[in-house]
Structure 1
Amino acid sequence: MKEGDLISFEYEGWTEGNLFDTTDESLAKKNDMHDERKNYTPLLVVVGEGRLVPGLENDLKKAKVGEKREVVIAPVDGYGERDTKLIQTESLSKIRRLNPDAQLYQGAEIELEGKHGQLVAIFGSRARIDYNHYLAGKELTFKYNVSSKISKKEEKISSLFKLNYPVDEDVNVSVEKNSATITLPERCKFDAVWFQAKYRVVSSLRKYAKIKDVKFVEEYIEKDTVSDDKKKPKKPKKPKSKKKTPTKKSKSK
């Protein structure tokens, strides 16, 4: 692989004998770390884009499609060494004010002033929060397999779209020379996140798919309607009454 290649790959990540992440759902269940919210499918990534830890990014450049690889990554090439300066003490009143719905207990995940951390201790009216990544300072082992390299233009554009704006729907793409027309999924019409994501999509397409012009199309297709006359239920016809055949009166003798 080389920088800029768009690939999908399957992996499992281990540290200290424990599984911490995987694309294999059965393996996640076996190790009691299955997450119902997670989509267990091969991961899409652009090699060298920086979405992965540096050690794994660098090893991907040596990989071939279909090759099973294993790489051991030192903390410096993973999530970094632990930094004691990132362990800070905060008042419980401040934490409750900024996280009114948070349940405060040892090990709770806390979001404070844009920083994500873990509550490691509570003493009196104060709490200690560790803002280090939970894998900081740990050696990581990744076992992975590059399942495919995506090269076809339309498929590459569709995949880059989903990489920057994850959707389950199919993305319809047409390409003419250096221009791409993308019919937007239904969700884009009412999702505020899309208005920011579209700039990332355009930037990614220009950089990795060599597309200059991008057109986004919203479709509003009128459904077939039945005319009012056809909608009105027809009144049932009254059954015709059978005419009684008059009987001749017999003459009295």
Structure 2
Amino acid sequence: MSDEQEADVNEEEETQTEEGLQEGNFISLDYTARTAEDEDLVDTTSEEVAEEEGIEAEDREFGPRTIVLGAGHIFEDVEEDIYGKEAGDEGTVSVEQAFGEYDNEQVRTISADKIGEDDRYPGARVNVDGQQGYVETIIGGRARVDFNHPLAGEDIEYDYEIVEEVEDAEEKAKGLFSMYIDADLDMWIETDEVEEEVEDEDGETETETVEKETLYIEATPQLSMNQQWMFQKQQIAQDVIDRLDLDRVIVQETIDGAGAGMMGMGGMGGMGGADLEEALEDADIDEDELVEELEADDEAEEVEE
């Protein structure tokens, strides 16, 4: 093949690739990932597959996931395989050492006092000085902890199907939030007219009405008490604003009259102790830590571009 013919072929392949899905596209994706060596299930969007593996599906919502290509929501090797394809296409990708190489230096011996008494047994998942690990052995006052990712060094076989390209803005927003927060959130987009003060060419301030594309999110206890949302709400909201070309995100809480006169102990606004305890447990929040964060965090829950 001559250089000219090879150049034509490369140009044709590039043109074909650009016609399909590309970076920045939102897609709905079904997938199942297993370890290549033992075929152990790593993750799946299929409830049927989960049940076959004996995984309880009660507390998890199955179904296609909305992701953004190029945003790091899936393995880079899988993204590269999807580029240029269309809805309905399928693929299988082998991702080498998907969760990094296994590092023997990440297996360390520490004082058992750094581990809670309830977690002092082999296999326990622990957090030591902000680092996640798994207990290998405990002998006397010493513990051997592996701080590698549980799948470090493993190759992953990733089977996927592109269900559809997502065009609806609200579905895109829900997909983005699901990357950060495991909660069923009610959200919608409206075009608001907002009064703003602006400076004219002479430096004088005047008020004008501007339109703002706004994503509204109905607050829930699970959202309010979610640690990632508490610590990263600005970054999460800004990501949604940038990717969906919005002007702002508003998180709002609605309190209706149905609970009037049903104050719980300590004035919990109708949320009884059992309900609050259940919400805290669902969100995996330490009560004392929550109180400290709420006292320290006095920022308004509105993010604007």
Is 2:76 the partner of 1:54? Answer: yes
Question: 1:199 corresponds to which residue?
Answer: 234
CA deviation vs aligned residue, 1:88-118 (integer Å, no higher than 9, x gap): 11121222xxx2432x222221111111111
How far apart are the structure 2 equivalents of 1:23 and 1:56? 16
Give the superposition deviation at 1:192. 4.2
Change (3 A) 1:74 1:161: closer
Question: CA offset at residue 58 of structure 1?
Answer: 2.8
Q: 1:117 aligns with which of 120, 133, 145?
A: 133
TM-score (norm 2): 0.62
Are residues 195 and 131 of structure 1, via their aligned partners in 2, closer, same or farther at CA, if it must alter by over 3 Å? closer
Number of residue-to-residue matches in the alignment: 219
Q: 1:121 to 1:53 in 2, by over 3 A?
A: farther
Cα distance in 2, alignment partners of residues 32 and 186 from structure 1 = 34
Counterpart of 1:236? none
The question of whether the paired residues in 2 share the 8 Å contact of 1:165 and 1:201 is answered with no
User: Which ranges in structure 2 are unaligned for 5 or more consecutive residues?
Assistant: 1-20, 193-209, 261-305
Report the CA distance shift for 1:37/1:64 in structure 2 as closer, same or farther (over 3 A): same
- Residues 20 and 156 from structure 1, CA distance in 2 versus in 1: closer, same or farther, beyond 3 angstroms? closer
Of stretches 183-192 and 163-172 in structure 1, the one that deviates more from structure 2 is 183-192
Match of 2:60 in 1: 38
User: Is 2:228 the partner of 1:208?
Assistant: no
Matches within 5 A, 1:87-98: 87-95=107-115
The offset of 1:191, in angstroms, is 1.4
Aligned 8 A contact 2:107 2:145 in 1: yes
In the alignment, structure 1 residue 142 sits paired with structure 2 residue 175: no
Q: CA shift at 1:8, angstroms?
A: 2.0
Alpha-carbon shift at residue 131 of structure 1 (Å): 0.9
Q: Distance in 1 between matches of 2:213 and 2:181?
A: 17
Cα distance change, pair 51–122 in 1 and its aligned pair in 2 (3 A): same
Per the alignment, residue 32 of structure 2 pairs with 12
* Structure 2 residue 169 is the aligned partner of structure 1 residue 153: yes
Does the 8 A contact of 2:219 with 2:252 survive in 1? no
Task: Determine the C-alpha separation between the residues in 1 that align with 2:223 and 2:67.
Answer: 27
- C-alpha distance after superposition, 1:26-65 (max 9, x if no partner): 1112122335432222222221212333323333334421
The verdict on how the C-alpha distance between 1:26 and 1:130 changes in structure 2, with shifts beyond 3 A counting, is: same
Deviation, structure 1 residue 190:
7.9
Return the alpha-carbon distance in structure 1 between the equivalents of residues 122 and 154 of structure 2.
Answer: 21
Name the residue aligned to 2:118: 101
> What letter is aligned with 2:31?
Y
Q: Structure 2 vs 1, CA of residues 20 and 163 (structure 1 numbering), >3 Å: closer, same or farther?
A: closer
CA drift at 1:71: 0.6
Residue number in structure 1 paired with 2:184? 168
2:28 pairs with 1:3:
no
> Alignment identity in percent?
27
**Is the 2:180–2:236 contact (alpha carbons within 8 Å) kept by the matching residues of 1?**
yes
Q: Normalised by the size of structure 1, how large is the TM-score?
A: 0.74
- Judging by fraction of residues, say which structure has more helix: 2
Q: Show the counterpart of 2:290.
A: none
Equivalent position of 2:104 in the other structure: 84
Separation of aligned partners in 2, 1:34 and 1:189: 21
* CA–CA distance in structure 2, aligned partners of residues 69 and 192 of structure 1: 38
